Structure 1
Amino acid sequence: MAGQGTAAVEIFADAQQQKLPINYLFSAVGGGGLISGLAAYTKAVSPLTQVIGVEPTGAASMKAAFKVGHPSTLPTMDKFVDGAAVKTVGELTYLNAHRYVDHLTTVPEGHVCTTLLELYSKAAIVAEPAGALSVSALDNFRTELVGKTVVCMISGGNNDIGRMQEIKERSLIYEGKQLYFVVNFPQRPGALKEFVNQVLSPDDDITKFEYTKKVNRGKGPVLIGIRLGNRKNAAGLQQRLQKFDPHYINLKENQTLYEMLV
């Protein structure tokens, strides 16, 4: 905690040189060591600075601890934001965070992916998922931050290039632009062309198409991925899908099937 807290010493030294008050300090929360060190120093030198701890929605162990008043083990956990995916926070880090942190907030993993891509494309910053948490959380406080001086702690560059496809996929799903369905498809020539003409909007694309099971019937179940040109296309798409196959399955509503098939 003390070692990681030295980052706050540097932050406030820079702010003092520029004669800027720091109104908000955002940092990721995993086991709690970083946020504890940052918050303890911040409250010692700038009590009015709001310290915001940010956790991934699928691994919010500090939030769970705050709720019950002591470290509590999460029954399940999404490990995607691996640098902050902790089932149980430490006793000392919990006590420090509870004493010094002003607010905890959570960010969906898909939103973290969108932030990662924006940090890379717009600011040339290569961050790991946990490092992007602090920036992702700004959307949760957009009205309070107008006219304020805000510091986001972006830590960790442990981002494997092999994960980029998964990051893009999660980002698109979070933004509502990538959809997956299981659709009963006619097993005859021209069926796909009919689907494209009757169901898709002109700016939509098919990104995945595979029969999940070959059957000796007129129709068979197909896993189909659709990239929307505009998220507003989704409502019309599903209305047309309903006519094409009244029994289609939206995999967004069935996480088990999504994980098994996609």
Structure 2
Amino acid sequence: MVTFLDVIENIYPFTTDVQYFQSLVSQQHAHGGADEPENSLQALIEATKYPFRQNANRVVIWITDATYHENDTYTSLTKNDVITALLSMGLIVHAIGPESNKSSYYDPIIIPTGGNFYDIYGNFRDILLDISRFYSSSKYVLSYQSLSSQLPAEIKLQIRYAGLGGEAIVFPIGTTFYKSSRYLAFYPNPFNPQITFNVEKGNYLGGELRIFNLLGQLIKTINIDNNTQSIIWSAQNDNGDLISAGLYIVQLVLNVKNELQYFETAKILYLK
């Protein structure tokens, strides 16, 4: 845990002692207010220095009611410096703050890292439950033994956790296509002027890399075959026009046997 005002106040190390951590949290109180901005950027940099386990879900919960110093007398850091450091460590940042600061101060940092924004006036129990539920695991492998010798065309899957959940129709695709890792990788993110997509070879019959803006409009389609490994995109749409800076959604669609498709989605940020 890192606490801060205009300067970093405390940096508490990781601990496995739950009661000790609860006591640290209970000692925190609002003080020194009415003098925005504060030094959130330096605090986020300190978070990147924690000794996370190699395979851990690396999540930062950033709680603040203020804007932040940037490249001034309190810090030489910029948003891009912090984003680069967070991405290099694989940290996902969730922000809890006032709605009025969301678009200008919190979104530029949480969106590239894949985090969410939560209103500071919301119910903290529900906020923490949402964060823990969403990132407790990003992938599950389910197996079952059927009494039938035929592979079903579809299976209805129901999931319930902490009173929440839902149901979905899933399509079994056999064991030959399963992999423990994702097929799509990309770097750098954020990017300017180019980003490289790597598509891992696998048991698929080709597909597409689709890029959408936040309005859901398809702006770029790149065809993929089983020999495609590296794609360099220079931030141009299908008409050859340079796109605007901002957040975009990448969708990898791979065609599998029997007209089934495999999907992956990711967020990328184009900076100018």
Bigger strand share: 2
TM-score by length of 2: 0.25
The answer to which structure, 1 or 2, has the higher relative contact order (CA under 8 A, 6+ apart) is 1
**Larger helix proportion of the pair:** 1
